[in-house]
Amino acid sequence: MKRALLVFGAWTAVALLFAIQMRYQVVQGSTTPTPPRPWGWIIAWQLSGWWSWALFTAPVCAFAAWAVRIRRPVAIIAAHLPMALLIGVACAAFEGAVKWALGLYRTPQTLVTGMTSSVQLYWTFNLLVYAMVAGLYHAWRASRLEMQLVQARLDALVGQLQPHFLFNTLHTISAFVLEDPKQANRMITRLSELLRQSFNRDRGPLVTLEEELELLDHYVAIQEARFGERLRVTFRVDPRAASAVVPTLLLQPLVENAIRHGAAPHGGVAEVEIAATRSGDRLHLEVRDNGPGLTGNGGAGAGLGLSNTRARLSELYGASHRFDLVNVAPPGSGAVATIDIPFSDHARDHR
């Protein structure tokens, strides 16, 4: 029903545009302008024609959907030619019958002469309309398939990331089962809440930054329980950035990387800072640690978590994003992961 209303709405808009043109057109070669026809007659004339096409849009799209199975472009075009002629003539004849039934012809017509006259007048124009409808269908189908492909890739990447994340967390908890059962129990509670939110079916591939930080808070609590006083994690979030839409599980791999490869080997108190700021139409995310920094090819981000992050950002934002993992400039120490993506407000439909 929604699709039918959309089709009729689109053809109604086309009919109104043609009605405006018809209302103000002037017969060329006349010494005086031709008196305009009444609005009621003009609108009825245009709607009878374009609403006819609204009815014939469904068979055109159905045939186009069948034709794509042929695969060969030349064969697809060849299959469309007779169908275009058939639909063009049938739609023109139907339009003529409707105009006759509504009494729109200025000269006396029978049903047959009305249909014949309409076919003679409109069949060639209808071939162009058929080509437009079939072309729009193929463009819509290609766009939908591309979106489905991107979604499938994102789902596959998130599917890879979640087991990786789960196994690492379970390994952390296992170290406390014998040494500190109460602490292990608290970590399991945190993990269960984290998994409940992570695998929630209502949680789409994109979430608000506020939701992402809420999920991250459970992971950070597990790591703080593991390292105790040796780990300090701070959040610095611009209130204007909280409603931004981000890929789900975007920050967790960066924080995990900072703790495991940056902060964890560092003597003393390991510090990890998570920052989010908004600058105009850009969202800037940063995860910084005070560890020994990157060595060798560590900046390549070859780990599963970081490679997933790079792949998902590339799928979602293409060239409009930036993701860097570099050492902190001297005299500081540690590494900093930076993500810069377009700011998108939570009010938009991102599910």
CATH of the domain at 332: 3.30.565.10
CB proximity list for 323: less than 8 A, separation 6 or greater: 309, 310, 313, 337, 338, 339, 340
The answer to whether position 350 is within a domain reads no
Q: Are residues 336 and 191 in the same domain?
A: yes
The answer to whether position 153 is within a domain reads no
pLDDT in tens, the chain (351 residues): 788 888 888 889 988 988 888 877 754 444 555 666 788 888 898 888 989 998 899 899 988 888 877 767 788 888 889 999 999 999 999 999 998 888 888 777 888 888 988 888 888 898 999 999 998 888 888 777 666 556 655 565 555 555 666 776 777 788 778 777 887 888 888 888 877 776 665 666 788 999 889 888 888 888 887 777 888 899 999 999 999 999 888 888 888 888 877 655 556 788 899 999 999 999 999 999 888 888 765 444 446 678 878 888 887 888 889 999 998 888 778 889 999 999 987 544 444
The answer to whether position 170 is within a domain reads no
Q: Are residues 118 and 60 in the same domain?
A: yes
Q: Are residues 139 and 191 in the same domain?
A: no
Q: Are residues 127 and 260 in the same domain?
A: no
Q: Please say which residue of 122, 144, 166 terminates a domain.
A: 144
Whether 84 and 130 have beta carbons less than 8 Å apart is answered as yes
Q: Please say which residue of 144, 162, 192 terminates a domain.
A: 144
Q: Are residues 109 and 219 in the same domain?
A: no
* DSSP codes, 97-108: HHHHHTT--SS-
What is the structure's pLDDT at 282? 94
Full residue range of the structural domain in which residue 272 is found = 175-342
d(CA 306, CA 253): 6
- Number of separate domains in the chain: 2
Token code pair at residue 46: 């245009």
The answer to whether position 162 is within a domain reads no
Q: Are residues 118 and 218 in the same domain?
A: no
The answer to whether position 151 is within a domain reads no
Q: Are residues 270 and 130 in the same domain?
A: no
The answer to whether position 167 is within a domain reads no
